[in-house]
Chains A and B, each alone.
Chain A
Amino acid sequence: MTLASSSTSDITYNFAYLDEQTKRMIRRALLKAIAVPGYQVPFGSREMPLARGWGTGGIQITAAIIGADDVLKVIDQGADDTTNAVSIRRFFARVAGVATTEATEEATIIQTRHRIPEAPLSADQVLVYQVPQPEPLRKLEPRETETRKMHGYGEYGLMQVRLYEDIARFGHIATTYDYPALVNGRYVMAPTPIPKFDNPKMDHMPALQLFGAGREKRIYAVPPYTTVRSLDFDDHPFQVQRWSRPCELCGAGDSYLDEVVIDDQGSRMFVCSDTDYCEGRRAEGHVGTQLEQSAGQRLTGGSS
């Protein structure tokens, strides 16, 4: 790892902001997390020059693993252009002098909140998740001593009770975000607030997946090509969200859609939440119904 600050970065900070000792501490936690897939490793979370809730857990992981030749992409709700994503990208451009990108395939590190990119990730990429609440059992069992034992002994009946309650109340498993999954057949994990639509992407993903919870001081990981199985019932199998129509901008029928308001009259349309994916498809000539109708009129897929 380089200690030198590159010419474009701010010389008052160490490379990637954190001091080398802190980075080593975080890397040790990361190695342990990778060795025990899905296990929540405690770490000495540091203050970052960004408000908590802005993903300080993810930022600390990125800071600990990033090198001068990495290319960083940051997404928030699937979009590269939200305030949160832009500030984190700028932060690393300044303190590490790294190149940034919006193109999923160009990135070596992708820091995310809420989404996994639609484009399949490869073995030379790392996905860093910003996690608000790492403990999937917390809502049902407030005692940390007890949840630690439940994980330790693989006592996951209570997790199933949470899904039972969903079906009892709504007739189906209504959990759509942060849907619990069993990692490597051993630890149940909270996959951050990603939609359950993205859960199947975590299974046997070639890229390394790292999860950081700054406030809760926990790091966990899913190593490449690891089994990630979403919990369910035999008679209520896990299902992802489906939409009745494709993306109205690019016509994609396989992506996660956001409903966005497009004019002052409150008209709405469904578009890809992954802006890079949507733009890439349009650049390739794919067209959705909205673009067909208003040919020539420029529309962007930016959301939220």
Chain B
Amino acid sequence: MNVIGDMVPALALSAPLLRVDGLTKFYGVQRGCEGISFELYPGEILGIVGESGSGKSTLLQCLAGLLAPTNGDIHFRNTQGAEVDVLALPEPERRRLMRSEWGIVHQNPRDGLRMGISAGGNVGERMMAVGKRHYGQIRATALDWLSRVEIEGGRIDHKPSQFSGGMQQRLQIARILVSEPRLVFMDEPTGGLDVSVQAKLLDLLRVLVRDLGISAIVVTHDLAVARLLTDRLMVMKDGHVVETGLTDQVLDDPHHPYTQLLTSAVLQA
């Protein structure tokens, strides 16, 4: 069943979840990204690809609220269906949004996990942050999420430092998805992992994101990851988007010469 091919045009009929206009970030005079505009629809997974230094992480961090853009607008449709101007939100509200409706999967699990706290505590934190006060229920939900990311229940009281890199990454994903966010940002979610571990994690991510109907923006320099995980692609070069389109179209029939170079580089590898 060609889910992706059928889904994207249908999604386009609904209102966008995220609307980005002219997003620009300069580090002093150094351009990070410039003039980025796009829309993300509910349930859609958008990939951002491009060579090192092309501005992928800069863009993602601006979108995720980790970095203040120099210019531009970000609008997010909240659960009430209202469009909120993310950059104009007071900080406490933006932080609330970030830990409930949004989630960020960091490339390095250490940036996304509390290493001194047990796996269960890591997964439970978002529940407690929104006021859950029943230990038994928090623990049961944490156990459920650990099993969904294929971490044995017996490891619930172990600290992440006792986990392998792949497990840490899966724990990070459970820690975020437990709050059932509607939008997840991922920066190289499979970077730094062995190829076999990468494949497993990708499978898991794909299933979870599809099951929960989550929208996601995924930065990767790995076109195989982009092909497996994303519906649509934005190709970046020197801080600008040079090509966008459905993932299969961009990868199989690239129009911009830079994208042609990128895709052929993968074929050679």
Contact = CB atoms under 8 A, between A and B. Distances in A.
A157 B116 contact: no
Interface stretch (B24-32, B105-113, B134-142, B253-261): B134-142
A18 interface: no
A164 B121 contact: yes
A165 B121 contact: yes
A168 interface: yes
A198 B116 CA distance: 29
Contacts of A158: 125, 128-129
Interface stretch (A114-122, A174-182, A231-239): A231-239
The CB with the most chain B CB atoms within 10 A, among A155, A164, A165, is that of A164
Nearest to A142: B116
A233 B91 contact: no
Interface in A138-168: 140, 149, 152-153, 155, 157-158, 160-161, 164-165, 167-168
Contact of B118 (A140, A168, A236): A168
Contact of A161 (B128, B130, B157): B128
A169 interface: yes
Contact of B135 (A140, A155, A233): A233
B95 A153 contact: yes
Given A157-B126, A158-B125, A168-B157, A233 B134 contact: yes
B165 to A, nearest CB: 23
Contacts of A152: 92
B117 interface: yes
A168 B156 contact: yes
A167 B117 contact: no
Contacts of B91: 149, 153
B125 A235 contact: no
Interface in B75-116: 91-92, 95-96, 114, 116
A161 B127 CA distance: 10
Contacts of B116: 140
Interface string B171-197: 000000000000000000000000000
**Which secondary structure dominates chain A's binding surface?**
helix
B117 A155 contact: no
The CB with the most chain A CB atoms within 10 A, among B120, B125, B128, B134, is that of B128
Given A157-B125, A233-B135, A235-B136, A165 B130 contact: no
Contacts of A160: 128, 133
Interface residues of B, number: 24
B135 A235 contact: yes
A162 to B, nearest CB: 9
Contacts of B96: 153
Interface string B221-265: 000000000000000000000000000000000000000000000
Contacts of A169: 118, 157
A160 to B, nearest CB: 4
A251 to B, nearest CB: 37
B132 to A, nearest CB: 8
A140 B114 contact: yes
Interface of A: 140, 149, 152-153, 155, 157-158, 160-161, 164-165, 167-169, 232-236
Nearest first, the 8 closest Cβ-Cβ pairs linking A and B are A157-B129, A153-B92, A160-B128, A157-B128, A233-B135, A234-B134, A161-B121, A234-B133
Given A157-B129, A161-B117, 13 more contacts: A149-B91, A153-B91, A153-B96, A155-B92, A155-B129, A158-B128, A161-B114, A164-B121, A164-B124, A168-B120, A233-B134, A234-B135, A236-B135
Interface of B: 91-92, 95-96, 114, 116-118, 120-121, 124-126, 128-130, 133-136, 138-139, 156-157
29 contacts: A140-B114, A140-B117, A149-B91, A149-B95, A152-B92, A153-B91, A153-B92, A155-B92, A155-B95, A155-B129, A157-B126, A157-B130, A158-B125, A158-B128, A160-B128, A161-B117, A164-B120, A164-B121, A164-B135, A165-B121, A167-B135, A168-B118, A168-B120, A168-B157, A169-B118, A169-B157, A233-B135, A234-B133, A235-B134
